Amino acid sequence: MSAVGAARALLVELTGTEPDGTWSAPGRANLIGEHTDYNDGFVFPFAIGERTHVALRHRDDGRIRVVSTFDADPVEVALTDLDGLFPARRDDVAEWARYPLGVAWALIQASGADAVTLGGVDLAFASDVPVGAGLSSSAAIEGATASALNDVWGLGMGRVALATAGTRAENEAVGAPTGVMDQLASMLGEADAAIFLDCRSLETEVVELGFGPAGLTLLVIDTGVKHAHSTGGYGERRAACERGAAVMGVPALRDLSVDDLPRAQELLDDVTFRRVRHIVTENQRVLDTVQTLRAHGPRAIGGLLDASHASMRDDFEISVPELDLAVDTSRATGAIGARMTGGGFGGAAIALVPDEHVEAVASAVTASFADAGFAAPHVFPVAASRGAGRDA
């Protein structure tokens, strides 16, 4: 059964009636620009074809109930009680349910709507976005929820505002210290294009990728190593970045250039310096990738992808052996560039591969995991896709 069919079936099982509609939002792959978003920097993600769907049914009692195919127990709360839950009592709510309920809370806060007068809803979720793979299954839940509630509550909020509400939900209702990149990519995605995003101004530009005409396929290699942004490693990296910016006397690491790195090395301890160096050089790689794509096409960006992975492995230290093996094997068997994608500590890698080498790369990666004693990876192609909205 498709994900949209599963969402509809779950809603019928929950309520005994058909949904009033379904909405969906995609996961995202980040071509380049990792951990730069919460440093006010630059990122270059795109929405993927895999999506989270939500089936919605109106109710007349001012309550919101959520259920999903990955947790059969419904969670229900009065809309007027959301303020009391988030963020102070978020641990009273099952972690998965904090995402949609947090979005509802953030939308009410951002729009100034009166929770007393809003109509209640039942929401049933199903998804084909891999969970914990660095493809932002969380932003897909948030984007689907935000799109649905914005429509049925008549909030009139724009896509950037909806993405910002999703980020607030993830930060405060879930407790994950992420930036805005994932939510914006999920909301603003377009076919065959990536979103060049300035995370300080929230200015966006759609940039054509041109992988198909260039005879290239982007493979995702889901290592199966699960990660969670709400655990310590992510927060520690963010704290190091904030510490480095404070010592360097700038509002955010976005305000440093490569030319500032020698001074940073003099002022910072080794670990903090390497965290800072990753962010500063990664910001430059994003700018270089966009410029290279425009000037020379996608076959010229492989070296930038490789350098990004090396920086995340060595300076930011967020890779794991499975990710390194996926990247190294992909490069050795025909990929023009490869890197881990997402927050790190597990998840997925991406490899930009000439079409004629796709099968060889996928087979080699799978074999290398077996030889290393790792669980088999899930290797699949992704294509840039449309952003969040109501299903046809």
Residue 98, pLDDT score: 97
182 in catalytic set? yes
Residue 179, pLDDT score: 79
Residue 133, pLDDT score: 72
Q: Is the CB of residue 279 less than 8 Å from the CB of residue 39?
A: yes
Q: Is the CB of residue 212 less than 8 Å from the CB of residue 21?
A: no
Q: Is the CB of residue 56 less than 8 Å from the CB of residue 22?
A: yes
Q: Is the CB of residue 180 less than 8 Å from the CB of residue 193?
A: no
Residue 234, pLDDT score: 83
Between the two ends of the chain, the Cα-to-Cα distance in Å is 17
User: For residue 230, what are its two tokens?
Assistant: 């709400």
Q: Please state the domain extents for the chain.
A: 3-206+386-390, 209-382
Indicate if the alpha-carbon torsion angle 92, 37, 49, 362 is positive or negative: negative
User: For residue 170, what are its two tokens?
Assistant: 């993830």
φ, ψ at 122 (rounded to 5°) = -105, 135
**What's the CATH number for 209-382?**
3.30.70.890
Decide: helix, strand or coil at residue 300. Answer: helix
Residue 230, pLDDT score: 52
Question: Residue type for 223, please?
Answer: T
Per-position b or e across 362-383, b if 16+ CB within 10 A of its CB: bebbbebbeeeebeebebeebb
DSSP 198: E
Q: Look-up: residue for tokens 């994900």?
A: 3
Q: How far apart are CA 165 and CA 150, in angstroms?
A: 11
φ, ψ at 131 (rounded to 5°) = -85, 135
Decide: helix, strand or coil at residue 336. Answer: coil
Q: Is the CB of residue 139 less than 8 Å from the CB of residue 354?
A: no
Residue 273, pLDDT score: 98
Residue 100, pLDDT score: 98
The alpha carbon of 144 is separated from its chain's Cα centroid by a whole number of angstroms, namely 13
**What are the pLDDT tens digits along the chain (392 aa)?**
899 999 999 999 999 999 999 999 999 999 999 999 999 999 999 999 999 999 999 999 999 999 999 888 999 999 999 999 999 999 999 999 999 999 999 999 999 999 999 999 999 999 999 887 778 899 999 999 999 999 999 999 999 999 999 999 999 999 988 878 899 999 999 999 999 999 999 999 999 999 999 999 999 999 999 866 555 688 899 999 999 999 999 999 999 999 999 999 999 999 999 999 999 999 999 999 999 999 999 999 999 999 999 999 999 999 999 999 999 999 999 999 999 998 889 999 999 999 999 999 999 999 999 999 999 999 999 999 999 999 97
Residue 233, pLDDT score: 86
What pTM was estimated for this model as a whole?
A: 0.87
φ, ψ at 318 (rounded to 5°) = -120, 5
Helical (H) or strand (E) element with 78: strand 71-78
Q: How far apart are CA 389 and CA 392, in angstroms?
A: 9
Architecture of domain 3-206+386-390: 2-Layer Sandwich (3.30)
Point out the catalytic residue in the list 182, 192, 255, 259: 182
Give the ranges where 16-94 is alpha helix by DSSP (H): 82-85
